[in-house]
Amino acid sequence: MAPSVGRLLRRLGAASSRPSVLLGQPPLGPARRPYASGAAQAVLEKSDSLSPEASTRENQAKAESKSFAVGMFKGQLTTDQVFPYPSVLNEEQTQFLKELVGPVSRFFE
């Protein structure tokens, strides 16, 4: 009679407690993971290549946002972002609207 699978696994497992040996897979280790060391090396090279001036320029570019919502949060109003589309009014219509703003605002005060 053939030995059962459980007995066979027990005999194989007696030599090593690692499941990879039982499954016939090679043992894992630092030498078996070249992608991890390569990725870490790429990150280190990238951080070394940035000069201090370049990193400060990147930080300033990230800090200065022209977003309308960010401007409202900071207490600044950037009207260019409110209506980013070109004006459809000609000069006469724009002048007429500017003349109406003063009297209407005084009326509602």
Q: Is 60 a residue whose pLDDT tops 60?
A: yes
Instruction: Return the closest-CA partner of residue 81 out of 65, 63, 70, 66.
Output: 66
What pLDDT sits at residue 91? Answer: 92
16-45: average pLDDT: 60
What pLDDT sits at residue 89? Answer: 86
CB 98 within 8 A of CB 89: no
CB 72 within 8 A of CB 79: no
What pLDDT sits at residue 109? Answer: 84
Q: Is 53 a residue whose pLDDT tops 80?
A: no
38-67: average pLDDT: 66
32-49: average pLDDT: 63
